[in-house]
Amino acid sequence: MKSRLASSFASIVCLTLISAGAQADTSGQQLAEGAGRALLGTPAPRLEVKTIDGRTIDLGQLYGKQAVYLKFWATWCVPCRQQMPHFEHVYESAGADLAVIAVNVGFNDAVDDIRAYREKLGITMPIVLDDGRLGAAFHLRVTPQHIVIGRDGRIEYVGHLADASLDAALSAARTEPAADASDAGAASKNPAAIVRYAVGDALPELTPLTIEGTPFDFRERGAAHQTVLVFLSPWCESYLATTRPEVSTNCRRMREQVAALAGEHDTRWLGIASGLWATAEDLREYRTQYAVGIPLALDESGALFRAFTVNQLPAALIVDRHGRIVRRVEGAELETPTALRAAIGTR
């Protein structure tokens, strides 16, 4: 198994998400640490999750008995694969004092993708496909993102790199005394359920800000035109060209169809970029590189992507003038050059 992981690791072409080499690692660590700073020392959420094999894991029941190591990852993420030998080694060497769980972020990945990846690399630890709750609870910003929870049920470490700091956090979490089971995580709560909106629902009363700081009112009063919300990522076309070429192609198709339509019709447009591996500056560079003409907003926390259950890029929601979602366009639909035009009812 270790030789299979080592072979896979040695054969990786060193790509990056936002920038190159060490710069990407540095930016990833900064994003993870920045997002996780408010979590350090706080009680970890008590969540019940299921593995892709159907096993139920109650995180709340682990607190007070074991340290917990959660690693957020994705099959298309090159740094995740680079770190997989380290991750598997931690799992194989973990005793009764440490629970190790792989959390697929549920973004541009399906269960079949994950199972094929597991088989190819010989991964043996339990794998959970996140439905958005874990990402929200642990402020997911990058892949991989490491979360170490102490035996007292409190979050001790959030990071991106598989380095000495992570190893030290894992060692400290494992060697500290076990907490009283009745006290561990006592202050923890089950996170609030995610309110989701689908075709047929009215848009929520939200006013996200564009990267220029301009409010965009989802429920604009007296609107005489429809609204199109386009969900995207500034790195979709470039980074996924190698690891998910079909997704990369669809992102390009969506961008081109939006460009062809945005200036033609009386329709409100908003591009909503995922905050995963992206900053406002990345979004500005994306706008300049591709001459994007519609307003852009960064969903830094991922709340909008979760609310509209956008797990695959790209996607567009068509909203009528009454504020009701009437159509969704995504994935293979974009192989038709006029898919978006037909969806918004233009000729």
* Domain C-terminal end among 144, 175, 206: 175
* Domain C-terminal end among 157, 175, 193: 175
pLDDT of residue 188: 63
Mean pLDDT of 75-81: 96
CA distance 58 to 48: 4
Same domain, 280 and 144: no
Contacts of 249 (CB under 8 A, 6+ apart): none
Same domain, 107 and 38: yes
Same domain, 47 and 168: yes
Strands 127-129 and 98-104: parallel
Structural domain includes residue 244 = yes
pLDDT of residue 177: 77
Note down the domain range covering 241: 227-343
Structural domain includes residue 198 = no
Structural domain includes residue 19 = yes
Same domain, 71 and 132: yes
Contacts of 256 (CB under 8 A, 6+ apart): none
Structural domain includes residue 79 = yes
Structural domain includes residue 151 = yes
Q: Is 301 exposed, middle or buried (0-12, 13-18, 19+ CB in 10 A)?
A: middle
pLDDT grade for 193, boundaries at 50, 70 and 90? confident
Same domain, 329 and 264: yes
Same domain, 64 and 167: yes
Contacts of 106 (CB under 8 A, 6+ apart): 129, 130, 131, 132, 135, 311
In the chain, how many domains are there? 2
* Domain C-terminal end among 175, 204, 236: 175
Q: Looking at residue 283, which CATH number applies to its domain?
A: 3.40.30.10
Structural domain includes residue 221 = no
HSE-CB at 158 with a 13 A cutoff on CA atoms is 24
pLDDT of residue 68: 98
**What one-letter code names the amino acid at 258?**
V
Same domain, 257 and 322: yes
DSSP structure string for 97-145: TEEEEEEE--SS--HHHHHHHHHHHT--S-EEE--SHHHHHTT--SSSE
pLDDT of residue 19: 32
Structural domain includes residue 280 = yes
Mean pLDDT of 189-213: 93
CA distance 50 to 146: 19
Same domain, 45 and 140: yes
DSSP structure string for 285-345: HHHHHHT--S-EEEETTSHHHHHTT--SSSEEEEE-TTSBEEEEEEGGGGGSTTHHHHHTT
* 58 pLDDT above the threshold of 50: yes
Whether residue 66 contacts residue 33, with contact meaning beta carbons closer than 8 Å, is answered with no
pLDDT of residue 182: 52
Structural domain includes residue 197 = no
* 263 pLDDT above the threshold of 90: no
Q: Which of 186-195, 196-205, 217-226 has the lowest mean pLDDT?
A: 186-195
